Amino acid sequence: MKKIISLIIILLATVCLFACGKKETLVVYTESGFAPFEYVSQGEIVGVDVDIMNKVGEKLNKKIVFENVSFDVIVDTVSEGKLTNVGAAGLSVTEARKQKVDFSKVYYQANLYVIYNTTTGINSKTMTDGNTGVYWSSLTTTKGIGVQGGTTADLFLGDELGEGGSLEGVKKTDYDKLSVAINDIGLNIDYVIIDELPAKELVKGKSNLACLPLYYEGGEGEDDELAFDEYAICVTKGQTEILNAINEVLTELLKEDTNGVNGVQKLVNKHLGIE
């Protein structure tokens, strides 16, 4: 009898060791064509959002697994909460998205940029803040403008293309991949609109492409206004434990050092290779 009890104890201990040592998995949806926030290096998805979520995994004692999907399905899939409870993909906070998911605190502000062909040029000017930029209304085009479908750039452009907008009637082309979009400049579109850091990465080393920030023209006596959006991580509504862990990690990262640089910016610099 004692031998049987001993065997049961050993068996239970073995099962416990296996079960206790195996971390629960937290699946995170992303779209890997948005450097430096998520991109593929040596066959793996890396980037600022990956680093942030790995810290969240440590806090929750969960293994983080990133799945690369089409950008425009992320919010809806997180909202359903079946395949994933988290979306980290340089997501911008909008009122429409807030109806579907909960957002973490904002961790990065991104200005919108336009990518253009240097051969044909663009109608740029010096803005009231002293920087060179482009007004939305100055995007003269015969071919149209490209965006990655479902992004905030897509939403901003939609407003300008709508009735009464500064680009009313201009053709908009949606792309799944930004790399495909910029290769189409000069062929089927004249410009691509996307956030600042990905824009600068996409034109790097390409002598025929350049990018500039987009502005709304100020009225008489008013300053020109940058077009920008703010990034946060989205979570299925009701997943309070995950949301709280993300916010705790972001709170720590957003603390500035003695030079006024916070941890998120340091991660951005690391993935841009400017540490």
Span 137-182, pLDDT tens digits: 999 888 999 998 878 788 888 888 887 788 888 999 999 888 899 9
Measure the CA–CA gap between 84 and 67, rounded to whole angstroms: 9
- Indicate whether 69 belongs to any domain: yes
Least confident of 50-59, 114-123, 159-168, 239-248: 159-168
pLDDT at 108 > cutoff 50: yes
Is the same domain home to 172 and 127?
Answer: yes
Show the DSSP H helices in the chain as ranges: 2-21, 48-60, 74-80, 95-98, 152-161, 178-183, 196-203, 240-253, 263-272
Give the contacts of 75 (CB within 8 A, at least 6 positions apart).
87, 91, 97, 100, 101, 150, 234
210 and 130 share one domain: yes
Q: Looking at the domain assignment, is residue 1 inside a domain? A: no
Question: In sequence order, what are the residues at sequence separation of 6 or more whose Cβ sits closer than 8 angstroms to the Cβ of residue 80?
Answer: 236
Beta strand 145-148 pairing with 191-195: parallel
Do 213 and 235 belong to one domain? Answer: no
Indicate if 115 and 221 belong to the same structural domain. yes
Q: Is the pLDDT assigned to residue 81 strictly greater than 50?
A: yes
* 223 and 142 share one domain: yes
Do 187 and 102 belong to one domain? no
3 lies in a domain? no
State the pLDDT at residue 176: 87
Asked whether the beta carbons of 267 and 273 are under 8 A apart, the reply is: no
Does 10 have pLDDT greater than 50?
Answer: no
85 & 179 share domain? no
Domains contained in the chain, number:
2
Choice among 37-41, 235-239, 256-260 with the minimum mean pLDDT: 256-260
Of all residues in the chain, the percent with pLDDT exceeding 90 is: 65
Our CA dihedral for 245, 247, 250, 251, rounded to 10 degrees, sits at -110
Q: Is the separation of the CB atoms in 245 and 52 below 8 Å?
A: no
275 pLDDT band, cuts 50/70/90, is: low
Distance CA 141, CA 127 (A): 21
Q: Does the residue 239 lie in any domain?
A: yes
pLDDT digit string, tens, across residues 32-74:
988 889 999 999 999 999 999 999 999 999 999 999 999 999 9
DSSP letter at 202 equals: H
pLDDT higher at 274 or 1: 274
What single-letter DSSP state applies at residue 262? B
> Does the residue 9 lie in any domain?
no
Contact 223, 125 (CB under 8 A): no
| 124 shares its domain with 223 | yes
- Is pLDDT above 50 for 9? no
Which residue segment(s) compose the domain that 139 sits in? 110-228
d(CA 171, CA 164): 15
Per DSSP (E only), the strands in 118-256 are: 124-126, 132-135, 145-148, 172-175, 191-195, 209-216, 225-226, 228-235
Residue that is written with structure tokens 């009231």 in the block: 128
Mean pLDDT of 90-119: 93
Given a cut of 70, whether residue 6 has pLDDT beyond it is no
Q: Are residues 223 and 115 in the same domain?
A: yes
Q: Domain check: are 115 and 76 in the same one?
A: no
Which pLDDT score, from 0 to 100, does residue 219 have?
80
Mean per-residue pLDDT over the chain, rounded: 88
- Rounded to 10°, the helix 48-60/263-272 angle is 130
CATH for 154: 3.40.190.10
- 93 shares a domain with 38: yes
